[in-house]
Structure 1
C-alpha cells in the first residue's frame, strides 16, 4: 500500500501542471488566470485561425517526418552492425553514436551552432534537419540495438543456409521481427524532433521558425490562453501516438525488452 501511495503521489506531482494547462486552455478570459472565470472553446478556434502558429506546426511536422526517415535510414543499419557484427571498436562506435544523450541540450545546441556557422548551415532547413538528427539518432540506435540483440540469430542463419542473400535475410526475416522496435523508435524520433525547442532556438533564424520556437516567441509578448490551447493539442497528439504504439505492440515489447 505504501509503495502504491508513493507511486500515486509521484504521478500526481508529474501530471499536476497538465491539469492547470487544460483548465486555462478552456478559459473564457482574455488573460492567463486560474481558476478560469468561465469555460469556452474560443482559444481553440483562435488557434485554428492563427496563421503563424499553424504554419509553424506544418513546418515542424514536415521537418520531423524528414528527420525520422533520416534517423531510421542511418540508425537501423548502424544498430544492426552493433548488435549482430563483431569488429574492433564496436563499443567505441556505439558510445560515439549515443554520446549526445549524455550532453545537456543547451551545450549541444551551442556546439552545433559554432560548427554550423562557418559552413552557412545556421538558419537553414538542412542545418535544422542535421541538428535534429544529432539529437534523435542516438534514440534510434539504442532502441534498435536492443531490439535486434533480443532476436534469435538462428532464424537468420536458417534463411541464409537456404540460399537467401544477406539483403533478403534482412528484408524478409530481420526487419519483420524487429518491426515493434522500428515503429517505437520512429514514433519517438518524430515526437522528439517535433517538440525540440532548445537546439531549434540556436539554429532557427528570424524567418525560419518551428512550432516550439514560434510558441516561445509568442509567449514573450502575449499573455492570453492561446498557447495553453496549443499545449493541450500537443499533449493529446503525443499521448495518442504513445497509446497507439502501446495498443498495437506493447511499449516494453516495442523497445526490445
Structure 2
C-alpha cells in the first residue's frame, strides 16, 4: 500500500487564503492611516487658524508670544460682520424656505405622475448639480444684471435657487415613492381634498425627508461661493464672499483679523449644523414606508 501524505499546517497557512487575509489587513491599515492623517491634518489647520486669531504676534515659534481678543473686535468693525451675518441669515433662510415650497410639490408631481418628456425634465434637474456652478453662473449673472436684479439680495436668492430646488426634488422623489399610494386613496375616500391630504397625511410621513433635504440645502447655501460672488452687490454679500474679499481685496490687512473672520465663519456654520441636527438624525434620514401586502 502507498502512503498518502497530508499537507502540513504550515503549508496550509501560506496558501491563497492566508495571502488574501494579509492583503485585507494591509488594506485596512492603509485606509485607517489615510483617514487618521486626514483628520490630524484638518484639526491642525483649524487649530492654527484659531490660535492665530487670538495671537498678538506669532513668528518663528511653536506658540504665539501672547493672546488677545482685539482681532475679533477689529474684524467685526472693519468687515462690518453684523451686517454681513444679517444678510447671510436672510439669504439662507429665504433659499431654504423657497426650496422647500417649490421643490417638495414638484417632487410629488414627478413621483406620482407620468407625462411626456418626464425623463428630459429629470435630466434638466440634474444639470445644475452636475455642471460646475461657474459654467452656468456667468450667463445666469448676466441675465440677472440685465433684468435689474443682479447685485441685490433677490438676485442672490434666485441664483442660489437654481441648484437647490433641483436638489430638493431629487432627494424627495425616493421618499415620496416609498409611500403607498393607497394611503392617499384612503384619505380621498374619507373626503380629504388635495390640500388637506398633503398637510395632514403626506406631510407627517415626508417630514424626515423634508428636514434632511433642507438641512443639506442650508449647508450648501452657506458654503456657496461662485453663484453668490457673481450676483452679490455691496449690500448682498454673504459671509463666505465677504471672507474672500477680506483675503484678496486691495490693501494691507492683519492676518490675525482675517483669521478671526474665518473663525466667525466656522462657528456660524457649526451653529447652523447643531441647530439643524437637533431636528434631523443623520442615521435616520432615509425612512421606508411599510407597504401592506395587496389583498
Q: TM-score range by the shorter chain?
A: 0.7 to 0.9
Matched residue SS, 2:233: coil
Per the normalisation by structure 1, the TM-score is: 0.85
Higher RCO, Cα 8 Å, sep 6+: 1
Once the two structures are TM-superposed, the CA of residue 214 in structure 1 deviates from its matched residue by 1.9
Q: Does the residue aligned with 2:80 lie in a helix, a strand or coil? A: helix
Task: Say which is worse superposed, 97-106 or 246-255, in terms of deviation.
Answer: 246-255
Write out aligned runs for 1:106-255 (5 A): 106-206=134-234, 208-219=236-247, 220=249, 221=251, 222-254=253-285
Give a deviation string over 1:149-172, Cα, whole Å, max 9, x none. 333434323322322212211111
Aligned-residue offset at 1:211: 2.3
Instruction: Determine helix, strand or coil for the equivalent of 2:107.
Output: helix
| 2:56 is equivalent to residue 28 of structure 1 | yes
Alpha carbons of 1:108 and 1:7: their partners in 2 closer, same or farther (altered >3 Å)?
same
Q: TM-score of the superposition, structure 2-length normalised?
A: 0.75
Distance verdict in 2 for CA 1:108–1:34, change over 3 Å: farther
Structure 2 segments unaligned to the other structure (5+ residues)? 1-27, 289-295
What do residues 126-161 of structure 1 show as CA deviations (whole Å, max 9, x unaligned)? 222211111322222222223223334343233223
For residues 40 and 148 of structure 1, do their structure 2 counterparts lie closer, same or farther at Cα, with a shift above 3 Å needed? farther
Aligned residues: 256
For 1:170-199, what per-residue CA distance to the aligned partner results, in whole angstroms no more than 9, with x for missing partners?
A: 111111111122122223323322332222
The answer to whether the 8 A contact 1:144-1:181 is kept is yes
Matches of 1:255 and 1:228, distance apart in 2: 38
Higher helix share: 1
Match of 2:22 in 1: none
> Alpha-carbon deviation of 1:209?
2.9
Q: What is the RMSD computed on CA atoms of the aligned residues? A: 2.7
Offset at 1:103?
1.2
